[in-house]
Each structure stands twice: as structure tokens, then as C-alpha cells.
Structure 1
Amino acid sequence: MSAIDFSDPATIAFLTDALTAAGVVGLEISRPDGQLRIVISGEGGARIGSSEATPRASGSAPVVVKAPLAGYFCAEHPAAALTPQNLPRSVSDADVLGFVSLGHVLLPLRAGQSGVLTRLLAEPGALVSFGDPLFEIELPS
């Protein structure tokens, strides 16, 4: 039996559709390299969350914000007017830096660390896989 690729958008969409059709309210898959969680809302929509096991940054090394699931990378909210990202800029740990879009699901990407957002590591609109680097944040010294 081959391993299921949980970074594949088609696999995640299939799982979401199957859970919705079966009336299941959610699914969580944990592996040593990360976690995938799909929660079906009451109106047939879904929330998909994912985390990757990564060590905390030490010293002055930059923190890399990675894609929590496979999908299309959006540097801005798709409904927002297009405004260029001015870099570098200060961010707090709760700031939304961008989004990953998968079908009707739009997952916000939070900074997770306060610091200076220095680099955009993926092209807006690009198809990204689970764990792909998207942003780089310099931590304060």
C-alpha cells in the first residue's frame, strides 16, 4: 500500500467532499512531520488546518512562514484591491501575511512571530505544496 500524499490539493478536496457526503464533522491526521485537520461546518463548508513540526528559531536566524497545506498562494486577500506589499515592514505574531486558497477554502497565513517581514518567497498565484516557504521574518535581537 502506498502512502497518501496529504500535500496534494486534489487529495484534500476529495477527503473534504467525502467527509461532507458521509455526514462526518471532522478528521484529524497526525504524522511525525505534521498534522492535517479538516472540520466540516454546519452549512457544508469546511475549515482546513495544518501544521508542520518545525523547531523554534534560535538567535538571529530568520523565521520562515511555510504553507500549512497545498493550494494557491495569495499575498493579499483575493477580494481586496491589488496593492503592492511594501517590504520590509514590521509585523506582529497575529498579523495575516497572506492566504492559501484551496477550492472554496481560504486559509489565512499568520506571522506567528513578531519581527520584520523581509522577503516574499513565493510568487502570488503560484501552486504551493505543504511546507513550501512563503515568507521570511527577521526576529528582533
Structure 2
Amino acid sequence: MTTTAASLRVMVVDDSNTIRRSAEIFLKQGGHEVLLAEDGFDALAKIDEHQPQMIFCDILMPKLDGYQTCSIIKRNQRFASIPVVMLSSKDGVFDKARGRMVGSHDYLTKPFTKDQLLQAVQKISALG
């Protein structure tokens, strides 16, 4: 499969090591640079330093959930333009709507395939 998307710096925020690792492998196979964060606080600490061009963020996390994390990112002038894709094991209309309300660009249901993940990256990067 050829990717038309340019290489991006992508952050994956998930409290599940399994999800982080599989997303990292898929994204690297797609030619992207990958940053990992295990929760919202970890993500917020790394965003400033690493300036990701896109963020995949799990919804259900301890301490700071995905909605709160996305909301904080979007309220910060310096990071507001970074596209955020919510990750959730639930595929509910309410979850998707709530994700859009806090500023997420898309929604991906877990478990995701390599193709689904890379298509999400391609879709977002096409928006430019």
C-alpha cells in the first residue's frame, strides 16, 4: 500500500501499553514519526517539547480523560491547530458528538486496523 500522506509527527495518547505499541508499529510502517504518552498529563507535558502534527487520544484514561485532554489542547493558542482524533472502544453517537464538542477532528473505534489508523492520518493530513 502506498501512502500519499507526507511523514508526520504523530502522538498516541493511551493508557493501554498494547494500544500504544500497536499504533506505534502501524504508524512507523506508514512512515510517520511517533511520540507516545500514557495519559493526558504525560501528553500535555510532551506536546510543548515535541510539537506533534497530529494526536490520537484515548477517551477513557485515569486522571485526565481524552475529552479533558483534547479540550486543554484546543484552548491553548499554540496547539489549537493540531488535529486530534479520539480513540474509544465505544462507538456511540454521544461519544462522537462529545468529541466534536471539545474540538476533535475525527473518531476511531478500538481495536483499529493498520489501514484504519493510516487512513485517519491521511484524511487529516489532506485537510492540511
Q: What interval of TM-score do these two structures reach, taking the shorter chain for normalisation?
A: under 0.3
Q: Under a length normalisation based on structure 2, what TM-score does the superposition of the two structures give?
A: 0.27
Larger radius of gyration: 1
Comparing both structures, which one devotes a greater share of its residues to helix? 2
Q: Under a length normalisation based on structure 1, what TM-score does the superposition of the two structures give?
A: 0.26
